Homo-oligomer: A and B are copies of this chain.
Amino acid sequence: MKCQRAIAQSIASLDKTMNRVSVRTHQRKEFVDITRSVADCAERSGIKHGLCVIFVPHTTCGLTINENADPAVVSDILHTLEKIVPEHGNYRHTEGNSDAHIQSSMTGHSLVIILENGHLQLGTWQGIFLCEFDGPRTREVWIHCIKGG
């Protein structure tokens, strides 16, 4: 397992309300830092105050927020999730990726972040990660911003 934290690159606007970001993963298990892509979408929405919702339409990957300064942090998270939910176990699902399905339900498929003065409100050390549990694949991240008030 390697922790790749490449920035997702291709952003294709689907329509004026929902953006789809394509994220290429390179390992079976890795966390990809998508903070910049999400922040770009949020800023281009033109919304000053509101919410930014991030959603992955998959069942073997997830989303999380954690430290993106020291890459050892997400490496520790991944290793621990692999220890708690081993790849090979007494699973009924025959596709060999039950661990990935379970890990995706443990991290979750959506995040909600506050938008203030046109910017995503994150803590100093926080980054947004796509959690790949059954790669390598091309994943999608859906981003939708909504105006408050």
Which A residues have a C-beta under 8 Å from some C-beta of B? 15, 17-18, 49-51, 53, 55-59, 64-67, 70, 72-73, 75-77, 79-81, 84-85, 89-95, 98, 101-102, 104-114, 116, 121-126, 142, 144-149
For A45, give the chain B residue with the smallest CB separation.
B148
The one of B70, B76, B92 that contacts A102, using a Cβ cutoff of 8 Å: B76
Contact of A80 among B72, B102, B107, B108 (CB under 8 A): B102
* Residue numbers in B under 8 Å from A64 (CB-CB): 105, 108
Query: Given A101-B66, A107-B105, A126 and B57 touching (CB < 8 A)?
Result: yes
Known: A51-B144, A144-B114. A59 touches B73 (CB 8 A): yes
